[in-house]
Amino acid sequence: MNLASVTVTKSFRRHSSFRKSSSLAILLLLSVSSALFLGSNASATEAEAAPTKLYGTITDKDGIALPNIGISVTGPEEFTKNVETDAQGNWEVEILTKGSFNLTINQDDLPEGQSLTDPTKATIRANVFSLGNDLRLLFPIGPGIAKASMLERSAQLALDGLILGLVIGLAALGLNLIFGTTGLTNFAHGEILTMGGLLIYYLSAVLKFPVLVAAPIGVLLGAFISGFLQDRYLWKPLRKRGTGLIAMLVVSIGLAIFLRYFFLFLFGGDTRQLPQYAGQAGLEFGLLSITPKSILTTSIGIILIILATLWLLKTRMGKASRAVSDNPALASASGIDVQKVIRAVWVLGAALATYAGVIITINQGVSFLMGQDMLLLIFAAVTLGGLGTANGALVGSLIIGLFVQLSTLFIPTELKYVGALIILIIILIIRPQGILGKKERIG
Amino acid sequence: MDFLFITQQTLSATIGVNTIIFALAAIGLNMHFGYTGLLNFGQAGFLAIGAYSVAVPVVSFGIPLWIAFLIGIFNSIIFALLLGIPTLRLRADYLAIVTIAAAEIVRQIARSATFNEWLGGSDGITGKFGKEFFDLNPFKSGLDTPILRFNANDLWVVIVGWSLVAVITFVMWIMVNSPWGRLMRAIREDEDAVRSLGKNVYLYKMQSLIIGGVIGSIGGFVYALSRQSVQPDNYGTALTFFAYTVLILGGAARVFSPVVGAMIFWFLIVFIEQILRQGVSNNLIPDWLIGVNQVGQIRFMLMGLGLMALMIFRPQGIFGDKKELALDAKA
Amino acid sequence: MQKPKSADVDFASTTSPTPGSAKSDPILVADKIVRQFGGLTAVNVDHLEIQRGSITALIGPNGAGKTTFFNLLTGYDSPNSGTWSFNGRELNGIPPHKVARLGMVRTFQLTKALYRLTVIENMALGARNQKGESVLRSVFPWIWRAQEAEIRARAIEILRKFKLLEKQDDFAAALSGGQRKLLEMARALMVEPEMIMLDEPMAGVNPALKQSLLEHIKELRTEGKTVLFVEHDMDMVHEISDWVIVMAQGAVIAEGTPASVMGNEEVIAAYLGAHHNDDLSASQEGA
């Protein structure tokens, strides 16, 4: 695909009633954001809410309680408290203010033969956004990383890698579809994930919807805002003007920067976790450990990908989108409403990416940097798989996910993204069209 | 609202250290993108390499500063070769992705705990590695006038920095108006046509990449020396994107445009920031809307919006010729 | 540059009009060139020789593989198999810029005038061995100024011949389609090639300009250059070519003088049924 702009051959007439309902939607969006503004900036002198506790249970790997283990807690306004686990291994701390709390376990108190699975993670950070939500926290005790065999570690890492690959794949599918139909390399795609995470955080932690309700609402909102509205009010007008592809790429960069700092402005810099299901214990399946929430979110993710693939292959709209990817002028000449197809692709892509953000948030948490961190991996996956190929994005995502996680067997964890990026560069040298791409004249 | 203070801060910033750094970064990008059409999204990597090359040899190994500069230029050439050799044969957007990835790799390694000993980890390196440079400073006191204010060290950096910018701009002007410059512009238009005339396009693209990269690294020198500190997170993708903003603002493919673009950019940024800060502290802007700590974030938000508006409404920048539109890939 | 051994018309009468026939003094020889795209064979040329110092036309219906063949010969594409040589020098795997330096210069079917350069800059670009193009020497203008002036003078002469002189300071983008074609040909001449390969040089050029273009091409022959061109305009082909090669479906189906080729049954059959807007002037009597 060359870098010529996609010419628009049809304009799309909208009924005035539809116009009204999109304005309504925008009003809704604005009021939601203002509510967030006010919420996040409210000073600490709000009425004292019910006391909140941070609590947990410390057991060894087999579930036997470990009593008399010391935990020291520090928090905002010089809050300090030391607690100990009781005979059942339970501990709790009452806190009266919002903010970030650090809880450090006293490793010397642990009996012989028991230690943290990761001795470097002796301190847990808990973010309390609103009072009234008790937070359960986990100090995993186990045989320790060094003692786990290479095989055990590889298996677990491979599983983690596949799950990461799935998350990347959800986002990469959308990016690829958008690139295929419009030629736009969307540098703001990562922010769709962040938006998804923040939406579900707001719905779940602030508005207190149960996660199972908040997630679908979040995805629908995300599909609407990041997909429908973004195409309607930004990209379609630009396409109509005939803006070139490099110009649009730079516009997407500006949008990414704006959104990232907007999120920072609204939510602050900390990683936020969902209060519900926090600190869920993993279920053991032989060599592997996986939390129930991870199983659920991942399964839904797989279903979504299957549905999306079916949409692409079987539905009229899906086939039309592939036609537009191949040759927009020809597709338009044969009667396909190219703008409608592009709109559908944006909504679908945004829905998938929003859900990816939701998965990450449910399992780990969300911060304003989530999009930026993921974006490079998503690009790597799409390039690796072959820009523009339907299955390439998925294949590339799984490979990148596996590589990122498995590489920690050999290189320090903090450098695992570096490994993925190096793989990307190497693949581009050896096989520039990607794994599934067709060899065309690349240079 | 203390308008005198605002004026002093804004004007000082317009010709200040940050402007010099961004001007150099953008001059390098002008060579890459403005004149040769190379989509280098890893310029921050070149600045990082320049900055660390100044700090690490001096602080960890006691090497004289002047040798460290040479090491920096050498490293930057190597980085350009590493980037260019595999990718200059590929399509433009592949170069973009590889350069972003490469710059990220540089930053991740620089901030990693693994290399903490040499590179300072996420805290970076702080130290008096610029001592030899500042020893040459003839100014014992700074400049303190109502409209401009610099301390002694900054004044020295500003004087040397602008001289450097002037020399580099002058040399670039000669090169761009020479047959070599013409060849670069031709490559930007159509590589196949240039090959049909017997020119080795690959070699020339590599030269452009190296030259623009070295200029970027010199920007890194200034960045590190001016603060006597190197922080890895300052050299992220945002730096590259703002360098592009500067370039586009001035109008790519004009020799002066990076300089003017940088000045306008920092003028606007500091001006808006000062207005916001004073507005917040004088309660002209309500506390619930913008907290004092959030002024910096608003600044970045505006920069993002500004870049978008620039590309949408005036992609040729201040000085660009609409005919010679470097960035609208319509033709 | 080697002088052609035979006069232009003589070789036509002494060469056999069969596909792949040997020429008395070939400048370009190609053997078993095959290029496939997936299942489609775009080019399958068994043997071909181009006579030095001649004007040879390469004709054939759309999709015959002519431009692909051009791309293969000049290094812009690699064949699946086959060898070819220019002045005895094998060209397999030689990149396009080196092929041009060896003396074989081509133009493009979709004109590649460099839009944001002026006409005179386009021209000056074509000159070879420019000191000013070296990165180090470019910084010292006194090294290259004199040569640059010579190059400009040469460019102006060629522009004058092509009637583009008053446009010299305009951006190439401001020229009409036909003028850009002329510019591309003029620019190719700046390279001082031995063999010049023109891909549809007449397309979009107005009739008055066409005549002068034909004269320019004949002049090239007088100067000892070899010309190979792809065309659909049969009148032009008839008027100036010494030799005609016909391609269809990737293979050479006929060779000969313009007259003999136009009457060739296979050639007529290859063209019938294909979409074409040229004039098959001499052929239809026997059909």
**Each residue of B16-50: pLDDT tens digit?**
999 999 999 999 999 999 889 898 999 999 999 99
For range B296-325, the mean pLDDT: 80
In this prediction, residue B147 has a pLDDT band, given cuts at 50, 70 and 90, of confident
Partner residue opposite A379 with nearest CB, options B97, B307, B308: B97
- Judging contacts by C-beta atoms under 8 Å, the chain C residues touching residue B171 are 139
**How many angstroms separate the first and last alpha carbons of chain B?**
49
Domain with B189 in it: 3-233
The distance of B196 to chain C (nearest Cα, Å) reads: 6
Average pLDDT for A60-66: 78
The chains found to touch C (3+ Cβ pairs under 8 angstroms) are: B
Report d(CA C189, CA B59) in Å as an integer: 59
The fraction of chain A above a pLDDT of 90, given in percent, is 22
A202 shares a domain with A180: yes
B304 close contact with A: CB closer than 8 A: yes
Tell me how close the Cα of A402 comes to any Cα of chain B, in angstroms.
18
State whether B109 and A257 contact (CB < 8 Å).
no
Separation CA B240–CA B107 (nearest Å) = 13
Chains B and C form CB pairs within 8 A to the count of: 101
Measured in residues, chain C has a length of: 287
What are the residues of chain C with a beta carbon less than 8 Å away from any beta carbon of chain B? Answer: 74, 76, 95-98, 100-101, 105-108, 112-117, 121, 124-126, 128, 130-135, 138-139, 141, 144, 148, 171, 173, 187-188, 190-191
Contact: B86, A429; criterion CB under 8 Å: yes
Same-domain pairing of A208 and A345: yes
Q: Is the pLDDT of residue B323 over 70?
A: no
pLDDT band at A408 (very low <50, low <70, confident <90, very high): confident
Chain A neighbors of B291, CB-CB under 8 A: 41
Interface check for B272 against chain A (CB to CB < 8 A): the answer is: no
Predicted confidence at residue A146, as pLDDT, reads 52
Joined together, the tokens standing for residue C255 give: 């060779």
- Is A197 found in the same domain as A61? no
Placement of tokens 């990562």 in the chain = A190
* Tokens coding B5: 């203070």
Answer yes or no: do A82 and A178 share one domain.
no
Across A327-354, average pLDDT: 88
Q: A with B: how many residue pairs have Cβ under 8 Å apart?
A: 150
Q: Is the pLDDT of residue A77 over 60?
A: yes
Q: What is the pLDDT of residue B141?
A: 84
Is C97 close to B199, i.e. CB distance below 8 A? yes
C148: which chain B residues are within 8 Å (Cβ-Cβ)? 179
| Chain segment C191-234, per-residue pLDDT in tens | 999 999 999 888 878 888 888 888 889 989 999 999 999 988 88
B108: closest CA of chain A, how far (Å): 7
Q: How far is C126 from chain B (nearest CA, A)?
A: 6
Do residues A318 and A242 share a domain?
Answer: yes
Chains linked to B by 3 or more Cβ pairs within 8 Å: A, C
Is it the case that residue B313 has pLDDT exceeding 90? no
Please tell me what DSSP assigns to residue A76. T
Length of chain B: 331
Residue of A nearest to B287 (CA): A41
Angstroms from A205 CA to nearest CA on chain B: 21
- Pair (A232, A94) in one structural domain: no
**How large a percentage of chain C has pLDDT more than 70?**
91
Q: Which chain C positions have a beta carbon within 8 Å of B329's beta carbon?
A: none
Rounded to whole angstroms, the Cα distance separating A304 from A351 reads: 10
Beta carbons of B323 and C101 less than 8 Å apart: no
AA identity, residue C115: Y
Per-residue pLDDT of C45-72, as tens digits, reads 999 999 999 999 999 988 888 989 999 9
Our CA-based measurement puts residue B254 at a distance from the nearest CA of chain C, in whole angstroms, of 13
B316 chain-A contacts, CB cut-off 8 A: none
Q: Which of A147, A179, A206 is the last residue of a domain?
A: A147
| Record: contact C191-B198, CB cut-off 8 A | yes
pLDDT tens, residue by residue, C119-149: 999 999 999 999 999 999 999 999 999 999 9
Among chain A residues, CA nearest to B241: A253
Q: What is the DSSP letter of A167?
A: H
Say what the pLDDT of residue A148 is: 59
Shortest Cα distance, chain C CAs vs residue B189, angstroms: 6
Q: Which of residues 359-388 of A touch B (CB under 8 A)?
A: 372, 376, 379-380, 383, 387
Confidence band of B322 (pLDDT split at 50, 70, 90): low
pLDDT confidence of residue B23:
96
For residues C260 and C17, the answer to whether their CB atoms sit within 8 Å is yes
The closest CB to that of B201, out of C97, C113, C171, belongs to: C97
Q: Do A429 and B102 touch (CB under 8 A)?
A: no
Question: Is A243 an 8 Å CB contact of chain B?
Answer: yes
Whether the pLDDT of residue B330 is over 80: the answer is no
Q: Has residue B313 been placed in a domain?
A: no
Of A147, A167, A184, the position where a domain reaches its end is A147
Residue C78, classed as helix, strand or coil, is: coil
Same domain membership, residue A343 and residue A242: yes
Q: With CB atoms and an 8 Å threshold, state whether A5 touches B329.
A: yes
Domain assignment present for B36: yes
The rounded mean pLDDT for chain B is: 87
Distance CA A4, CA A428 (A): 23
Q: Considering only CB atoms, which chain B residues are within 8 Å of A410? A: none
Is B99 a domain residue? Answer: yes
Q: How far is A363 from chain B (nearest CA, A)?
A: 24
Q: Give the domain-ending residue among A147, A180, A204.
A: A147
The pLDDT of residue A12: 28
Strands A70-75 and A99-105: antiparallel
CB B272 within 8 A of CB B73: no
If pLDDT is split at 50, 70 and 90, which confidence band does B138 have?
confident
The domain that contains A78 carries what CATH number? 2.60.40.1120
For chain B, how many structural domains are there in total?
A: 1
Say which of B94, B114, B310 has its CB closest to residue A414: B114
Whether pLDDT at C117 is above 60: yes
Chain A closest CA to B329's CA: distance in Å?
5
Q: Is A46 buried (19+), middle (13-18) or exposed (0-12) by CB count in 10 A? A: exposed
Q: Are residues A159 and A141 in the same domain?
A: no
C243-248 and C55-59: which strand pairing? Answer: parallel
Examine the pLDDT at A39 and tell me if it is beyond 70: no
Positive/negative CA dihedral, B266, B272, B278, B281? negative
B103-112 pLDDT, tens digit per residue, is 999 999 998 8
Q: Is A443 touching B (CB cutoff 8 A)? A: yes
Chain C residues near residue B190 by CB distance under 8 angstroms? 112, 114
Environment class of A184 (CB within 10 Å of its CB; exposed 0-12, middle 13-18, buried 19+): buried
Q: Tell me, what's the ipTM?
A: 0.85
Judgement on whether residues A141 and A157 belong to the same structural domain of the protein:
no
- The secondary structure element, H or E, covering residue B186 is helix B179-189
Say whether pLDDT at B84 is over 60. yes
Contacts of C135 in chain B (CB under 8 A): 175, 180, 204, 207, 211
Q: Is the pLDDT of residue C150 over 60?
A: yes
Quick one: A276 and A303 in the same domain? yes
Q: Which chain A residue is nearest to residue B90, measuring alpha carbons?
A: A443
Question: Do A228 and A106 belong together in one domain?
Answer: no
B175 near B38, Cβ under 8 Å? no
Q: In this predicted structure, what is the pLDDT of residue B76?
A: 96
What is the reported pLDDT for A392? 82
pLDDT in tens, B216-259: 999 999 999 999 899 998 998 889 989 998 998 888 668 888 99
User: Does residue A105 form part of some domain?
Assistant: yes
In a domain, B90, yes or no: yes
Q: C30: left (phi > 0), else alpha (psi -120 to 50), else beta?
A: beta
Contact assignment for C138 to B189 by CB distance below 8 Å: no
Cite the beta strand spans of chain C per DSSP E: 26-37, 40-51, 55-59, 81-86, 89-90, 104-106, 195-199, 226-230, 243-248, 251-256
Establish if A224 belongs to a structural domain.
yes
Which residues constitute the domain of residue A83? 54-147
> Could you read off the pLDDT of A264-303 as tens digits, one per residue?
988 888 888 888 877 777 788 777 888 888 899 999 999 9
Q: For the domain bounded by C9-113+192-275, which CATH number is listed?
A: 3.40.50.300
Question: Is residue C74 scored above 50 in pLDDT?
Answer: yes
| Confidence grade of residue C273 (pLDDT, cut at 50, 70, 90) | low
Give φ, ψ of C171 to 5 degrees: -65, 145
- Residue to mutate among B35, B173, B182, with most C CBs inside 10 A, is B182
Mean pLDDT of chain C: 86
Nearest Cα of chain C lies from the Cα of B320 at a distance, in angstroms, of: 13
Query: Does the pLDDT value for residue A10 go beyond 60?
Result: no
Q: Please, which pLDDT band fits residue A22 given cuts at 50, 70 and 90? A: very low
B329 and A246 within 8 Å at the Cβ level: the answer is yes
Between C284 and C115, the more confident residue is: C115
Same domain, A300 and A331: yes
B contacts of A39 (beta carbons < 8 Å): none
Percent of chain A with pLDDT over 70: 84
pLDDT at C146: 93
pLDDT of residue A49: 52
pLDDT for the residue numbered C98:
94
| Residue A143 pLDDT | 61
For A:166-195, CB contacts with B below 8 A are: 185
The number of distinct structural domains making up chain A is: 2
Average pLDDT, chain A: 79
d(Cα B44, Cα B50) in Å, to the nearest integer? 10
Task: Give which of B31, B196, B327 to mutate to test C binding, by max C Cβ within 10 Å.
Answer: B196
The predicted-structure confidence for A389-398, as pLDDT tens digits, reads as follows 667 888 889 9
| For chain C, domain boundaries | 9-113+192-275, 117-174
Instruction: Give the pLDDT band of residue A331 (cuts 50, 70, 90).
Output: confident
A117 domain residue, yes or no: yes
